[in-house]
């Protein structure tokens, strides 16, 4: 693979698109050369932001010969269709999370990528930032001894209060678990290894939600997925971690994520960020201590996953954002809802071979 930046075509020009465009030149590993969206005005705006990128139809972008990587930023339920079209055309794909709407279609994407000899990778790449890379080093060096357990909380009142089009967050394949779970579970899989099983419960506080801002303020829409999920994950390496994801909590004082070991506790940052703080308290310490972050990106560096893909193509480096890891996280989330529905602990398949 040549050293020149990867030529990226973006499908889906919503809110997150801009930071991916801006970070290409800043991070130095890729450049957005084409964009596509069903909303032509949004596509035109993204193209201008990218310095004159071409505006294409989504289907044409997926097959365009001048594009190396298709960046799939469409809503979650459209991930499979766009990723499959790009892979079928022989393009590398980096997709926002989750990998697909369900585990079976995600497995089809992995098989398609293997058949075409191209790379499929998936967000989140926040775990490549300075915060979680520092945490990974501390865990590997034994800063908390042997990890035993953990707890994490993603609690809020839901995006319906502020997002002008919040329905997508409450549809099947979304909700707090599928929207935010990939950040927490990807971080934990990187730190602790594969998840072995899960036991969970879930509930839905309201079957209807009301849009709280924008031109459609006051309109109601149905809720299709649980909005409060509590789960206990057992990792193959031994630790048991409790996670709670909710769109039904108005306020709380609980941590984003903590790991508990035989020699200490590591308090971790919001896994939807790239920086810190990292706080450590070891056996015998009188108080918590902030731990300096390792060198790396602590700012909003979305796009690091594309940089990792470029390094993999050039050097064969293993990928944290591999499709195999993303599939394992998707399996874990699917098993979480399955456990809640059937009232039993669910076994999770080991990660697929990348």
Q: Do domains 6-122 and 127-296+330-347 have the same CATH topology?
A: no
Note the pLDDT of residue 1. 39
Domain ranges of the chain: 6-122, 127-296+330-347
Cα dihedral 277/282/284/285 (nearest 10) = -10
Alpha carbon distance, N-terminus to C-terminus of the chain: 19
Q: How many helices (H) and strands (E) does the chain have?
A: 9, 17
Separation CA 269–CA 257 (nearest Å): 7
* Contact criterion met (CB below 8 Å) for 135 and 191: yes
Separation CA 291–CA 281 (nearest Å): 10
Separation CA 42–CA 163 (nearest Å): 17
Separation CA 21–CA 225 (nearest Å): 32
Cα dihedral 136/138/144/147 (nearest 10) = 20
State both tokens at 72.
């799939």
pTM (predicted TM-score): 0.95
* Contact criterion met (CB below 8 Å) for 308 and 121: yes
* Kind and range of the H or E run holding 177: helix 175-192
Q: Taking the CB of residue 214, how many other CB atoms lie within 10 A of it?
A: 12
List, in sequence order, the alpha helices (H) in 31-156.
40-49, 58-63, 79-88, 103-116, 130-140
Cα dihedral 284/289/294/295 (nearest 10) = -160
Topology annotation, domain 127-296+330-347 = Dihydrodipicolinate Reductase; domain 2 (3.30.360)
State both tokens at 280.
């450590």
* Contact criterion met (CB below 8 Å) for 241 and 149: yes
Superfamily of domain 6-122: NAD(P)-binding Rossmann-like Domain (3.40.50.720)
Q: Taking the CB of residue 252, how many other CB atoms lie within 10 A of it?
A: 11
- The tens place of each residue's pLDDT in the chain, 354 residues long, gives 347 899 999 999 998 999 999 999 999 999 999 999 999 999 999 999 999 999 999 999 999 999 999 999 998 889 999 999 999 999 999 999 999 989 999 999 999 999 999 999 999 999 999 999 999 999 999 999 999 999 999 999 999 999 998 998 999 889 999 999 999 999 999 999 999 999 999 999 999 999 999 999 999 999 999 999 999 999 999 999 999 999 999 999 999 999 999 999 999 999 999 999 999 999 999 999 999 999 899 999 999 999 999 999 999 999 999 999 999 999 999 999 999 999 999 999 998 754
* Contact criterion met (CB below 8 Å) for 170 and 221: yes
């Amino acid at each position: 693979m040549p050293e020149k930046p990867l030529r990226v075509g973006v499908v889906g020009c919503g809110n997150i698109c801009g930071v991916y465009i801006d970070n290409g030149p800043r991070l130095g590993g890729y450049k957005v050369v084409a964009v596509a969206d069903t909303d032509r005005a949004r596509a035109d705006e993204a193209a201008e932001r990218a310095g004159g990128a071409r505006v294409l139809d989504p289907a044409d972008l997926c097959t365009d010969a001048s594009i190396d990587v298709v960046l799939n930023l469409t809503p979650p339920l459209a991930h499979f269709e766009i990723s499959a079209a790009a892979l079928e055309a022989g393009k590398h794909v980096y997709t926002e999370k989750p990998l697909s709407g369900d585990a079976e279609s995600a497995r089809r994407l992995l098989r398609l990528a293997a058949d075409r000899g191209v790379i499929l990778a998936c967000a989140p790449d926040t775990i490549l930032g300075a915060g979680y890379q520092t945490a990974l080093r501390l865990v590997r060096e034994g800063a908390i001894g042997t990890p035993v357990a953990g707890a994490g909380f993603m609690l809020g009142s839901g995006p319906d209060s502020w997002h002008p089009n919040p329905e997508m967050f409450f549809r099947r394949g979304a909700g707090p678990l599928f929207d935010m779970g990939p950040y927490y579970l990807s971080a934990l899989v990187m730190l602790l290894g594969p998840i072995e099983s899960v036991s969970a419960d879930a509930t839905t506080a309201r079957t209807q939600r009301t849009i709280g801002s924008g031109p459609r303020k006051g309109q109601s829409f149905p809720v299709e997925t649980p909005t409060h999920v509590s789960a206990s994950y057992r990792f193959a390496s031994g630790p048991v971690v409790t996670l709670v994801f909710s769109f039904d909590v108005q306020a709380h004082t609980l941590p984003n994520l903590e790991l508990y070991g035989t020699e200490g506790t590591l308090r971790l940052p919001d896994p939807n960020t790239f920086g810190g703080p990292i706080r450590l308290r070891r056996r015998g310490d009188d108080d918590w201590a902030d731990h300096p972050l390792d060198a790396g990106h602590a700012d909003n560096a979305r796009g690091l996953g594309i940089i990792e893909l470029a390094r993999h193509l050039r050097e064969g480096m293993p990928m944290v954002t591999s499709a195999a890891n993303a599939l394992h996280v998707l399996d874990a989330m699917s098993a979480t809802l399955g456990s809640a529905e059937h009232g039993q602990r669910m076994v999770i398949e080991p990660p697929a071979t990348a």
